[in-house]
Chains A and B, each alone.
Chain A
Amino acid sequence: MSPVIPIRATSDGCSDAPVLRERGQREVFCGLTGIIWLHRKMQDAFFLVVGSRTCAHLIQSAAGVMIFAEPRFATAIIDERDLAGLADANEELDRVVTQLLARRPEIRLLFLVGSCPSEVIKLDLSRAASRLSKTFSPSVRVLNYSGSGIETTFTQGEDACLAALVPGLPSPAADAPASLLVVGALADVVEDQFTRLFADMGLGPVRFFPPRRATELPAVGPQTRYLLAQPFLADTARALEARGAVRLAAPFPLGVEGTTQWLQAAASAFGVEAAAFERATASARARATGALARHRVQLDGKRIFFFPDSQLEVPIARFLARELGMALVEVGSPYLHRQHLAQELALLPAGTVLSEGQHVEHQLDRCRAARPDLVVCGLGLANPLEAEGLTTKWSIELVFTPIQGYDQAADLAELFTRPLLRRLKLVA
């Protein structure tokens, strides 16, 4: 284990734990990758990246294994003429957007997604977006956010996208009752489960953000209480608060404990009676706890190492440590948001090695030295580490799989038992 972090026994978990901050090569995705799941969540939205061939290549390498009749994302590739100023970038962009919308008349919301090249040459996409919005209103709204690697890491692309949507959300009537907003893209099945749980405890109205259709945006105002369903939504939270919404502090809804406390935060804020809360959640909680027991047998005492990827690392590590008995060797995260993670950090076992940022070679050295039972890492590292005899769990899957809520707790655990079981099977 790294000697950099002194191990201290404190009663409140890792709340004040020091964090190893490193700089060097970062083996992470850029925010453009968020398009891969966001385009499935919002079916009438289209994502137009303004960038280079590299950006186009990234997205198609990530999504291209699916055969699309019609993809809902594309790239406007900047070429030499744009750089040399021979072509007016704004006129070019207008032309490309017009061409695109003629091909896809059913699109209601178009995101102009900034990239490293467009940011470095300071192409003003926000002005382009408002100009194009005027041109194509009312049938299409055009918004802008940056998914560039220099500014965003992987899931932060979703944060930037949602934050761009917030100013355009409708305002509720002044006398509207307090409402709950669940923020962060969730699998449809998870959304439906949460909707039922909230309904059973008599809590409502509840809306989800992002919505399934870009035309069904939830209202937000001072009466809005919001729960973050994902840990990577710093800018979105700030934008919501600028509209007067109030965050309900809670751990994230991963595992039985996390889900219960997350739901409890909403229940308390909306004055749900303890009995009603108990009635609504008891059976799902018991079912999930039972389902987890099977996985605990596999995972108890196993040592796990997290490379930074999605900011989901801390909540998942908390779940694996507390509910499945895993030992945390190192929990790396691209970015630690102290405030949003406060409840999570308090629950983490004291003395956990936390790292923020990355020097991938140094981190690989630490990982190899520790020989953990399971390594959570990106696909660029997974096969090479497997070839070295380490067992890995590729982390991107944690973003693409329904893992939140009671009924997914065992699925989440299974994502970690599966590679271990497989290794046993293939050796046998």
Chain B
Amino acid sequence: MQLTLWTYEGPPHVGAMRIATAMKDVHYVLHAPQGDTYADLLFTMIERLPRRPPVTYTTFQARDLGGDTAELFKNAAREAYERFAPAAMMVGASCTAELIQDDPGGLCRALDLPIPVVALELPSYQRKENWGASETFYQMVRTLAGPAAAAAASRTRPERAPHQRPRCNILGPAALGFRHRDDLQEIRGLIAALGIDVHVVAPLGATPADLARLGEADFNVVLYPEIAALTAQWLTRTFGQPCTKTIPIGAAATRDFIAEVAQLAGIDAEAALAEAASRSTWYARSVDSTYLTGKRVFVFGDATHAVAAARVATQEFGFTVVGLGTYSREFAREVREAAKLYGVEPLITDDYLEIEAKVAELQPELVLGTQMERHIAKRLGLPCAVISAPVHVQDFPARHSPQMGFEGANVLFDTWVHPLMMGLEEHLIGMFRGDFEFHENAAPSHLGGSHAAAASAAVEPPAPSTIDAAPAADAGTVIVVAAWAAEAEQELRKIPFFVRGKARRNTERYALDRGMPLITLETLYDAKAHFSR
């Protein structure tokens, strides 16, 4: 058992729902107990879809368990087929139905429906939402594009005629994806500007017939590896389609992406790259942004967004990444490699408490994370911006807000800088303390005063977790953090709040390493000099 305050991903059948809901003309029959229809709300409320997800639930109850739940499933599948007349159907079980082992796939074969039926095996007690989405997409594509594979295998891909524009598929955008809608629009624009046609976008908006045509494109653009990498690999093996590896988040990555796409399409991207420009690049270079230099950020999210955000944070905005992690175990390797670049310990976990302890220990000045890191940041009184799912309703905005492409880079600049205290205010608070209004523990004034009380109450990190993290030189000795002399404690308060936690930690570590029982004014400044080297 795992104690979970918050979970980063839903169960795998929610991933399958994301594929079904993204697509057109498919229906998902889910063997699940009463109550699991809550997942409809994710789509109708959080993503605000104006239609019901194409999902039929068996919603069995306790009294059904004594009877024939298999019959219940067959009825639900038959009724769903008759009512919705989909072009393809997905069938599967939720976590509770997995325990009663009714075998939806087998039951559906017995129904002998005249459409392709994809039986999903999603192990709910081992795997999670993104895996479920990836597996579902893969099984759908295998089933629907599979028949075309035999034909493709028998011939080599014909050379493209000179007048023919290259064609690509865009893979990955799904329902309930963080900014998938706007990313897709942005990337479509980039690809069109290069003179490349988009053949099929999947799963978002694709029909089963569209999936059957995937093999006809020249190459694949993979926007979200968590959902589409598995499928893209299969398409490479089956149809010989290469796929993109670069994630176009950030201005620099977008330029790399354009170059990669142009290379796969066999066209020259010089012209496109020469014109390409992002406002974020200039904004980050303008003197107003100088104070952003070296701001210590903690980055957490799905692997794709976390790795991309770390690159943008360091190379484009001049932050320092002090922590990098992901909950996507399937992509741990990518995050480990990225962490090496920044010389930080990669944090591969889906344990909310572990991440919270790490943030408390690192005392960053900005947290870039998910909805869950907003809880952590609130508790610790740290500024925070959301870069990755899981997200809530406010991160499915009405306005165009991509993360990808050049406009995406602009959005990132505004979003990440917003929660930080603005430069002038930061200077003035460093110089003058005790202002009744702009006091040191108050939230940045451009964010309004309402957060002030909560922030000031929580500014100091929870003591136990910071002590735990101190290096244990000798396991035999008891580690005791040195006491603070009143005078030193007072001096500590003069350090601006967003770096105070770090200063406190450093000083305590300094004292600990030297076995000093009391931290004096001297120790504080000794430590400052020591760590500034």
> Chain A residues with Cβ under 8 A from B42's Cβ?
61
Tell me the complex Cα distance, A54–B45, Å: 18
Bound Cα distance from A80 to B42, whole angstroms: 26
Tell me whether A69 and B62 are in contact in the complex, defined as CB-CB below 8 angstroms, given that A28-B37, A76-B2, A380-B41 are known contacts: no
Chain B residue numbers with a CB within 8 Å of A76 are 1-4
CB <8 Å contact, B35 and A149? yes
Nearest chain A CB to B61 CB, angstrom units? 5
Residues of B within 8 A of A414 (CB): none
**Complex CA distance for A156 and B184, rounded to whole angstroms:** 43
Interface residues on B, range: 35 or more
- Distance of A150 Cα from B378 Cα, bound (Å): 36
Encode A145-173 as 1/0 by CB contact (under 8 A) with B: 00011110100000000000000000000
Q: Is the CB of B7 within 8 A of A56?
A: yes
Q: Most B CB atoms within 10 A — which of A26, A116, A378, A383? A: A116
In the bound complex, what is the Cα–Cα distance between A62 and B42 (angstroms)? 9
When A68-B375, A380-B40 are in contact, do A25 and B60 touch as well, CB less than 8 Å? no
Asked whether A75 is an interface residue with its Cβ less than 8 Å from the other chain, the reply is yes
Query: Taking the complex as formed, is A278 at the interface, i.e. its CB lies under 8 A from any CB of chain B?
Result: no
| Interface status of B217 (Cβ within 8 A of chain A) | no
Kindly supply a per-residue 1/0 record for chain A positions 23-53, scoring 1 wherever the CB is within 8 Å of any chain B CB and 0 otherwise.
0111111111100000000000000001011
User: Among B7, B56, B379, which residue has its beta carbon within 8 angstroms of that of A53?
Assistant: B7
Q: Given known contacts A151-B62, A384-B50, A384-B51, is B34 in contact with A80 (CB within 8 Å)? A: no
With A30-B33, A116-B96, A379-B44 given, is the CB distance from A68 to B378 under 8 Å?
A: yes
- A1 beta carbon closer than 8 Å to chain B: no
Collect the chain B residues with CB atoms within 8 Å of residue A119's CB: 62
**B334 contacts the other chain (CB 8 A):** no
Partner of A74, one of B3, B48, B79, B128: B3
With A29-B35, A58-B38 known to touch, is A384 a contact of B57 (CB < 8 Å)? no
The reply to whether B33 and A384 contact each other, CB–CB distance below 8 Å, is: no
Q: Nearest chain-B residue to A386 (Cβ)?
A: B50
User: What is the 8 Å Cβ interface bit string for chain A, positions 352-386, against chain B (1 contact, 0 not)?
Assistant: 00000000010000000000000000111111101
With known contacts A74-B3, A150-B62, A120–B99 Cβ distance under 8 A: yes
B61 partner residues in chain A, CB cutoff 8 A: 26, 149-151
The residue from A32, A82, A100, A103 contacting B35, defined by CB atoms under 8 A apart: A32
B83 adjacent to chain A (CB < 8 Å): yes
List B residues 90-108 near A (Cβ within 8 Å). Answer: 94-96, 99-100
B36 at the interface (CB under 8 A from A): yes
B95 and A52 form a contact (CB under 8 A):
yes
Q: Is B14 an interface residue (CB 8 A)?
A: yes
A293 to B198, CA, bound (A): 60
Measured CA separation A406–B101 after assembly (Å): 52
Among A80, A93, A120, the residue within 8 A (CB) of B126 is A80
The A-contacting residues of B in range 45-80, CB under 8 angstroms, are 45-46, 48-52, 56-62, 64-65, 76, 79
Interchain CB contact under 8 A, A150 and B1: no
Residue in A closest to B50 when the chains form the complex, CB atoms = A387
Cβ-based interface call for A422 (8 A): no
A67 to B371, CA, bound (A): 8
Asked if B1 and A96 sit within 8 Å, CB to CB, the answer is yes
- Kindly identify which residue among B3, B44, B46, B454 contacts A100, using a CB–CB cutoff of 8 Å: B3
In the assembled complex, the Cα of A148 lies from the Cα of B392 at a distance in Å of 25
Interface positions of A from 5 to 28, Cβ below 8 Å from B: 24-28
A339 is an interface residue with CB less than 8 A from chain B: no
Q: Please measure, in the bound complex, the distance between the C-alpha atom of A77 and the C-alpha atom of B95, giving whole angstroms.
A: 11
User: Please, which residue of chain B has its CB at the minimum distance from the CB of A49?
Assistant: B4
Contact B34 A150 (CB under 8 A): yes
Cβ contacts under 8 Å, A117 to chain B? 95-96, 99
List, in ascending order, chain B residues with CB within 8 A of A79's CB: 1-2, 125-126
**Interchain CB contact under 8 A, B10 and A380:** no
Residues of A within 8 A of B2 (CB): 76-77, 79, 96
Task: Decide: B62 and A53 in contact? CB cutoff 8 A.
Answer: no
Bound form: Cα–Cα A387–B51 in Å:
7
Does B374 make an interface contact (CB < 8 A)?
yes
Q: How far is the CA of A179 from the CA of B3 in the complex (A)?
A: 41
A380 to B46, CA, bound (A): 11
Q: Roughly how many angstroms separate A120 CA and B95 CA in the complex, as a whole number? A: 11
Among residues of A, the one whose C-beta sits closest to the C-beta of B126 is A80
Given the complex of chains A and B, what is the CA–CA distance between A96 and B35 in angstroms?
Answer: 25
Complex formed: what's the CA distance from A67 to B458 in Å? 14
Q: Which residues of B372-400 are within 8 A (CB) of A?
A: 374-375, 378-379, 390, 392-394
Distance in angstroms between the alpha carbons of A342 and B76 in the assembled complex? 35
* Chain B residues positioned under 8 Å from A121 (CB to CB): 99
Task: Check if B378 sits within 8 Å of A69, measured CB to CB.
Answer: yes
Confirm or deny: A417 has a beta carbon within 8 angstroms of a beta carbon on chain B: no
- Indicate whether A65 reaches chain B with its CB closer than 8 angstroms: yes
Q: How far is the CA of A149 from the CA of B57 in the complex (A)?
A: 13
- Determine whether B6 belongs to the interface, using a CB cutoff of 8 Å to chain A: yes
Tell me if A70 is interfacial: C-beta within 8 Å of chain B. yes
The answer to whether B403 has its CB under 8 Å from any CB of chain A is no
Q: How far is the CA of A386 from the CA of B52 in the complex (A)?
A: 11
> In whole angstroms, what is the CA distance A96 to B454 when docked?
29
| A153/B34 in contact, CB under 8 A | yes
Which residues of A are found within 8 Å of B79, using beta-carbon distances?
A: 24, 361
> A281 vs B40: C-alpha distance in the bound complex, in angstroms?
44
In the bound assembly, the distance between CA atoms of A153 and B379 in angstroms comes to 33
Per the 8 Å Cβ criterion, residues 16-40 of B in contact with A are: 33-40
In the complex, whether B203 has a CB less than 8 A from a CB of chain A is no
**A92 near B: Cβ within 8 Å?**
yes
Q: Among residues 187 to 239 in chain B, which have CB atoms less than 8 Å away from a CB atom of chain A?
A: none
B404-417: CB near A (< 8 Å → 1, else 0) gives 00000000000000
- Inside 8 A of B379's CB, which chain A residues have their CB? 69-70
* Nearest neighbor of A78 in chain B, beta-carbon distance: B1
Q: What is the 8 Å Cβ interface bit string for chain A, positions 88-132, against chain B (1 contact, 0 not)?
A: 010011011001100100000000000011011100000000000
A3 CB → nearest B CB, Å: 21
Residue of B nearest to A71 (CB): B5
Given contacts A69-B458, A151-B61, contact A60 B45 (CB under 8 A): no
Contact with A along B346-381 (1 / 0, CB 8 A): 000000010000000000000000010011001100
Query: A64 in the interface, Cβ–Cβ < 8 Å?
Result: yes
- Flag whether B248 is at the interface (Cβ < 8 A): no
Residue pairs across A and B with Cβ atoms less than 8 A apart, 5 shown, are A29-B35, A30-B38, A53-B10, A149-B61, A150-B65
20 additional contacts (CB under 8 A) given A58-B35, A100-B3: A24-B59, A30-B35, A52-B95, A53-B128, A57-B11, A69-B454, A76-B1, A77-B1, A77-B2, A80-B126, A82-B1, A89-B1, A96-B1, A120-B96, A149-B96, A153-B34, A153-B35, A378-B41, A380-B38, A383-B49
9 A-B pairs with the lowest CB-CB distances in the bound complex, closest first: A30-B35, A149-B35, A387-B50, A380-B40, A116-B96, A52-B95, A57-B10, A92-B1, A150-B62
